[in-house]
């Protein structure tokens, strides 16, 4: 605002603080609308954007063995195929090992769940709530009827989601292949499309973003494996059914910081409560709390280092916004995208400060 404009505003009795505040609000509003528009476009194109992001996450892990093979003299194409097929074999082997273990204990778990529900019904009738049996039975029958009425719609939605997941998985595999094989060439091609004066900044920002994403993925995998192993051993020692599937769920929950550990621990405690006793459930809760503390105080700082430093409050806000805007998918993508954005902004800010110092602040 020029001096004349400022004088005019003051002449009309508008305080300068209000003028500055309104300008800030307008600019923040424009940025917020732009962010929401980008999120909306990404969600509408999720059949492409989600496989693209998953492929980038997989590439951060697979590029390491691919480079190792190339240093040993393997041709790039052969190294890429070996690494990719090896990763697919590992995932398929894990699924093949988990499904039979889950199915083998499903009948036992179902029987114990029925027994647990019967105990809850008895407590509701004879406990302090004093719910009459006809009222309780009517509520349960109503819930069952609602589930049955929604069956066809749920089935159609399930088939649609399954088709999208299958198509997305195939697309992610294809994208991962090209990212692992031709990642540097693709990056250079994208950079060349920018104006010449912006290319160096883009390269520096890209290096920072890729470093943050790589640190997040590799660190989260390490944290998840450690958490899942400890929880799985604890559940196995307590004799809790489905110890292996619950351990895998705990490992995967590492990709949902703060919230994932609570949900996975609650699920394990619920299974322990239904199939065992209150004491076993409390032991599982205590074990989950200990593992979460070790993760937050030791594992995450050590394995992720300084490449991805986000305050827990920032993580919680990002997870909440992601979950509200895009459900589980948004919660999954929120933290790594936030880390990448922070790393990119830091790299650009550092470059800007350095140039300002070199030019005397002009």
Q: What is the pLDDT of residues 188-220, one digit of tens each?
A: 888 888 888 888 888 888 888 888 888 888 888
Using 50, 70 and 90 to split pLDDT, how confident is the model at 82? very high
Determine contact, residues 218/60, Cβ cutoff 8 Å: yes
What is the pLDDT, as a whole number, of residue 81? 92
Give backbone dihedrals phi and psi of 15, rounded to 5 degrees, phi first.
Answer: -60, 145
Q: What are the tens digits of pLDDT across the range 140-197?
A: 556 555 555 555 554 455 566 777 778 888 888 899 999 988 888 888 888 888 888 8
Nearest-angstrom CA–CA distance, 288 and 276: 17
The average confidence (pLDDT) of the chain is 76
Largest CA distance in the chain: 82
Does this model's pTM top 0.85? My answer is no
Which band of pLDDT confidence, cut at 50, 70 and 90, is reported for residue 234? confident
Query: What is 123-153 written as a DSSP string?
Result: HHHHSTT---HHHHHHHHHHHHHHHHHTHHH
pLDDT in tens, 295-327: 766 666 666 655 566 777 777 788 788 778 777
pLDDT of residue 244: 80
- Kindly state the average pLDDT of the residues 286-297: 77
What's the rounded Cα separation, in Å, for the pair 154 and 204? 47
Both tokens of 235, joined, read 């559940």
Work out the average pLDDT over 319-348.
81
For 92-119, write each residue's pLDDT tens digit: 888 787 777 677 666 666 666 666 666 6
pLDDT at 281: 80
- What span, in angstroms and rounded, lies between the C-alpha atoms of 358 and 361? 7
Residue 173 to residue 179: CA distance in whole angstroms: 10
Please report, for the chain, the start and end positions of each structural domain, with discontinuous segments joined by +.
45-193, 198-353
Confidence at residue 361, expressed as pLDDT on a 0 to 100 scale: 44
């Amino acid at each position: 605002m020029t001096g004349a404009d400022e004088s005019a505003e003051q002449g009309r009795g508008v305080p300068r603080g209000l003028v500055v505040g309104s300008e800030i609000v307008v600019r923040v509003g424009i940025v917020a609308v732009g962010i929401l528009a980008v999120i909306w476009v990404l969600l509408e194109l999720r059949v492409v954007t989600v496989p693209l992001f998953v492929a980038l996450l997989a590439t951060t892990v697979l590029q390491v063995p691919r480079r190792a093979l190339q240093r040993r003299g393997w041709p790039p194409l052969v190294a890429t195929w070996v690494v990719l097929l090896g990763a697919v074999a590992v995932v398929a082997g894990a699924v093949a090992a988990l499904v039979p273990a889950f199915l083998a204990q499903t009948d036992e778990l179902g029987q114990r769940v029925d027994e647990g529900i019967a105990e809850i019904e008895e407590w509701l009738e004879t406990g302090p709530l004093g719910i009459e049996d006809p009222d309780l039975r009517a509520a349960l029958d109503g819930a069952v009827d609602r589930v049955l009425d929604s069956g066809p719609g749920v089935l159609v939605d399930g088939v649609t989601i399954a088709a999208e997941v299958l198509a997305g998985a195939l697309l992610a595999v294809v994208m991962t292949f090209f990212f692992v094989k031709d990642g540097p060439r693709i990056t250079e091609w994208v950079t060349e499309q920018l104006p010449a004066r912006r290319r160096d900044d883009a390269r520096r920002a890209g290096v920072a973003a890729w470093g943050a994403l790589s640190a997040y993925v590799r660190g989260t995998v390490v944290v998840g494996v450690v958490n899942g192993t400890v929880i799985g051993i604890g559940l196995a020692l307590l004799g809790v059914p489905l110890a292996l599937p619950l351990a895998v769920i705990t490992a995967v929950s590492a990709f949902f910081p703060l919230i994932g550990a609570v949900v996975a621990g609650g699920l394990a405690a619920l299974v322990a409560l239904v199939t065992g006793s209150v004491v076993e459930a409390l032991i599982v809760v205590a074990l989950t709390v200990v593992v979460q503390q070790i993760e937050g105080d030791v594992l995450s700082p050590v394995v992720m280092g300084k490449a991805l430093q986000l305050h827990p409050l920032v993580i919680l806000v990002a997870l909440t916004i992601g979950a509200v805007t895009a459900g589980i998918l948004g919660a999954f993508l929120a933290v790594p995208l936030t880390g990448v954005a922070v790393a990119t902004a830091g790299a650009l800010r550092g470059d800007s400060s350095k140039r300002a110092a070199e030019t005397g602040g002009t």
